Amino acid sequence: MTKARGGGRRGGAGDGSNPGSQLLNSQPLSAGTPPFPHPSGARPPVLPAELIPGHVAIVMDGNGRWANARGLPRTQGHEAGEASLLDVVAGSIEIGVRNVSAYAFSTENWKRSPDEVRFLMGFNRDVIRRRRDVLHEWGVRVRWMGRRPRLWLSVIRELEVAQEMTRDNTVMTLNMCVNYGGRAEIADATRRIAQLVKDGRLKPGHIDEHTIARYLDEPEMPDVDLFVRSSGEQRTSNFLLWQSAYAEMVFLDTLWPDFDRRDLWRAIEIYADRDRRYGGAVDRSTGPG
């Protein structure tokens, strides 16, 4: 039994700016500048470094319910959630989380209404464009996980520009999971491995867990330590299935637009108080006699 400890695809319309010119003018900021403080003055809890999760996965849920409760269109719920993600990234830096994966658009989200899908495509594109400069200033490395097919070219372009701009940053990594699904990721990895076997470059007997991990979207990404979902729902929704095999799950009732770094810190405190066994058992002494 071990106390919780951190672990340790990529590949439109716009505002008229040229992403390439911004990229050429950017400078690597590996160390970064401190993020803005929380308006309340809240500070992260003081925890031993070994109790800070190395990788936090977040299902940003509850935007629609937040909007419905206020008599607003669902799209306004998504818009309100943008600030929550930025605040959670700031809080992650403050407490020392090195990897955050945000579920921005799933492979199942294509089933939503055409109007909402169009909005989400443009919204994700614009969020990345609006926020990449401040993320770069903070020393955040942005990575994209997900499938290219069906994704708007303008979204792909903004994701790739953000990746290139921030590639040398080392404060933390933000994995933007856009057009991502855990089953799809495993299927894609399996397809690549099957092709290697067909080509005679890999023997079936040599395939193990490490082989599959090497062909996932981000093979260098550590496994998930803490899996957080907002809104009170208690399911994984096909997010980082392989990487979350031994993740600690924390489900919070807060709807995503109301979520901020204090909720993240609360989830981390819950995580830090748990015992991670990784499939092992704990012998509890019953005392003499």
User: Which residues does the annotation mark as catalytic?
Assistant: 61, 109
Only one residue has tokens 């090195």, namely: 98
226, amino acid identity: L
Say which residues have a Cβ less than 8 Å from residue 51's Cβ, sequence separation at least 6.
3, 4, 5, 6, 271, 272
Nearest Cα residue to 100 out of 59, 159, 154, 63: 59
- The angle, 0 to 180 degrees and rounded to 10, between the axes of the packed helices 261-272 and 74-95 is 50
SS3 of residue 178 by DSSP: strand
Neighbouring CB atoms inside 10 A of 156's CB total 20
Phi-psi region of 32 (alpha: psi -120 to 50; beta: other; left: phi over 0): left
Task: Give CA–CA dist 120/226, Å, rounded.
Answer: 26
> Taking a C-beta distance cutoff of 8 angstroms, is the pair 98, 139 a contact?
no
Instruction: Say if CB 88 and CB 45 are below 8 A apart.
Output: no
Residue 113 to residues 74, 107, 108, 250, Cα–Cα distance (Å): 11, 14, 12, 30
Structure tokens at 132: 């990449």
Contact 238, 182 (CB under 8 A): yes
Taking phi first (over 0 means left), then psi (-120 to 50 degrees means alpha), and beta for anything else, what does residue 14 get?
A: beta
